[in-house]
Chain A
Amino acid sequence: EDQVTQSPEALRLQEGESSSLNCSYTVSGLRGLFWYRQDPGKGPEFLFTLYSAGEEKEKERLKATLTKKESFLHITAPKPEDSATYLCAVLAYYGNNRLAFGKGNQVVVIP
């Protein structure tokens, strides 16, 4: 069974204090790894897809990287509006199109 573990569970950052979120995964044949952002009371909002080790994607202050065992979401000089729960999900070759999610990283950025 696919397993996704995210750490840390919760993170408080000062505005401008860069940090990284970790997503470790176990899957038999990775077809894709996805990062989503979720705000309270809302659904997951798609951020990035990574397909192979060494791949990187960037969007504003966020940068996602992928190795064969884990992915990192780097938040550079965060702002209060970056406060959210960040979800990691994997898609396996054998699993049709179902995503397997981690529990998320809850990030609070303090002004």
Chain B
Amino acid sequence: EAGVTQFPSHSVIEKGQTVTLRCDPISGHDNLYWYRRVMGKEIKFLLHFVKESKQDESGMPNNRFLAERTGGTYSTLKVQPAELEDSGVYFCASSPPGGQPQHFGDGTRLSIL
């Protein structure tokens, strides 16, 4: 069974540019989550999809971040325009319809210069 896949694995962009991260969940997992770890801090929740609907987006830092999950399959997280403090590792996770446990991808390492 394929795990959670994230693309790209690394991204380096300049402040003010736009970046889009992609996540492909485990097949059959209705729940999809985005988390972020900034340097020196713990992993923090960003948002949760159930199929194509946003169930909880309480962790999104501001309106420069836009997450979508069209058709309830893969998800994208767009940062526009990127700021220096957006640097970090962005993890995606998915879980089955029952809810838990969450299985994580290897993350996208985002560096804003």
Contacts and interface: CB of A to CB of B under 8 A. Distances in A.
B99 A45 contact: no
Interface of A: 4, 32, 34, 36, 41-46, 49, 87, 89, 91, 96-104
A101 B44 contact: yes
Given A96-B55, A96-B56, A43 B99 contact: no
B31 interface: yes
Given A96-B48, A99-B102, A44 B55 contact: no
A99 B45 contact: yes
B106 interface: yes
A97 to B, nearest CB: 6
User: Taking chain A's interface residues, is the majority helix, strand, or loop, or is none over half, making it mixed?
Assistant: strand
Contact of B33 (A42, A46, A98, A102): A98
Contacts, number: 61
Contacts of A104: 42
B42 A91 contact: no
Contacts of B99: 97
Nearest to A91: B100
Contact of B48 (A4, A49, A97, A102): A97
A27 to B, nearest CB: 14
Nearest to A104: B42
Nearest to B46: A98
A46 B59 CA distance: 22
A41 B106 contact: yes
Interface in B65-113: 91, 93, 95, 99-107
Given A43-B6, A45-B104, A46-B102, 6 more contacts: A36-B104, A46-B101, A49-B100, A97-B100, A99-B33, A101-B42
